[in-house]
Structure 1
Amino acid sequence: MFFASDNSGPAHPKVMEALVRANDGYAMPYGADTLMDEVRTRIREIFEAPEAAVYLVATGTAANAIALATLSQPWETVFCTPQAHIHQDECNAPEFFMGGTKLTLVPADHAKMTPASLHAAIAAEESRGVHGPQRGPVSITNVTERGTVYSVAELEALTKVAKEFGLATHLDGARFANALVSLGCTPAEMTWKAGIDAVSFGGTKNGCMGVEAVIFFDPKHAWEFELRRKRGAHLFSKHRYLSAQMLAYLTDDLWLDLARRSNNANARLVRGLKQIESVHFLHEPDANITFAGWSRAGHRRLHDAGAAYYVWDDNLAGDDPDEVLTARMVADWSMSEANVDRFLDLVRG
Structure 2
Amino acid sequence: MIFASDNWAGASQPVIDAMIRHNTGTAPAYGTDPLTERVTARFREIFEPHVPVLFTATGTGANVLSMAGCARPAGLVMTSGTAHILCDEWGAAEFHTNGMKLVSVATRHGKIAAGDLAAEIEKHPEGSRFGVPVALSLTQASECGTVYTPAEVAALSAAAKARGMVSHMDGARFANALVHLGCTPAEMTWKAGIDILSFGATKNGCWCAEAMVVFNPDCVRDLATLRARAGHLFSKSRFVAAQFDGYFGDGHWLDLARHANAMARRLADGLAAAGNKLAYPVEANEVFPLLDPATIARLRAAGAAFYEWPEAGRDENRVAVRLVTSFATPEADVDRFVEIAGG
Superposed displacement of residue 325, structure 1: 2.1
Aligned to 1:317: none
Counterpart CA distance in 2 for 1:54 and 1:44 is 9
1:230-258 per-position Cα deviation (integer Å, ceiling 9, x unaligned): 01111111111111111211111111010
Contact 1:106/1:117 (8 A) holds in 2: yes
Give the TM-score of the pair, scaled to structure 1.
0.94
Secondary structure, counterpart of 1:17 in structure 2:
helix
Give the distance between the partners of 1:164 and 1:220, measured in 2 at CA.
Answer: 17
CA separation in 2, counterparts of 1:127 and 1:199? Answer: 27
Equivalent position of 2:98 in the other structure: 99
Q: Which amino acid aligns with 1:124?
A: K
Alpha-carbon distance between aligned partners in 2 of 1:31 and 1:344, rounded to the nearest angstrom: 46
Q: Is 1:204 equivalent to 2:210 in the alignment?
A: no
Query: What amino acid is the match of 2:302?
Result: A
- Asked whether the 8 Å contact 2:70–2:220 carries over to 1, the reply is no
In the TM superposition, 1:177-196 aligns within 5 A as 177-196=175-194
* Cα shift at 1:312: 1.8
Answering whether residue 278 of structure 2 is matched by residue 281 of structure 1, we say yes
1:251 match:
249
2:320 paired residue among 314, 326, 329: 326
Q: Cα offset for 1:128?
A: 4.8
Q: What pairs with 1:30-179 in structure 2 (closer than 5 Å)?
A: 30-49=30-49, 51-126=50-125, 128-129=127-128, 131-179=129-177
C-alpha displacement of 1:290:
0.8
Cα separation, 2, equivalents of 1:86 and 1:222: 17
**1:171-214 CA deviation, whole Å, 9 max, x = no partner?**
00000000000000000000000011100010000000011011
Mapped to 2, the partners of 1:312 and 1:293 lie a distance apart of 9
Measured in 2, the distance between the counterparts of 1:150 and 1:274 equals: 23
Query: 1:237 and 1:311 mapped to 2: Cα distance?
Result: 40
Aligned-residue offset at 1:220:
3.9
The residue aligned with 2:303 is: 306
Number of residues of Structure 1 aligned to a counterpart in Structure 2? 339
Runs of 5+ consecutive residues of structure 2 not aligned to the other structure: none
Secondary structure of the 1:137 match is strand
SS at match of 2:222: helix
Residue 22 (structure 1) shift: 2.1
Question: Which amino acid is 1:224 matched to?
Answer: D
Q: CA RMSD in A?
A: 1.4
Q: Identity rate of aligned residues, in percent? A: 43
> 1:340 maps to which residue?
334
1:235, 1:245 → 2: CA distance?
Answer: 16
- Aligned residue type for 1:210: C
* CA pair 139-336 structure 1, distance change in 2 beyond 3 A: same
Shift of 1:291: 0.8
Question: Would the aligned equivalents of 1:138 and 1:169 in 2 still touch at CA under 8 Å?
Answer: yes
Relative to 1, partners in 2 of residues 1:4 and 1:235: Cα closer, same or farther, differing over 3 Å?
Answer: same
SS in 2 for 1:280: coil
Q: TM-score, normalised by structure 2?
A: 0.96
The superposition leaves residues 122-173 of structure 1 with CA deviations (integer Å, 9 ceiling, x where unpaired) of 11113654x3311111000110001111111111111111111111100000
Q: Which runs of 4+ in 1 moved over 6 A?
A: none
- Residue segments in structure 1 that go unaligned for 5+ positions in a row: 315-321
Structure-2 separation of matches of 1:328 and 1:262: 15
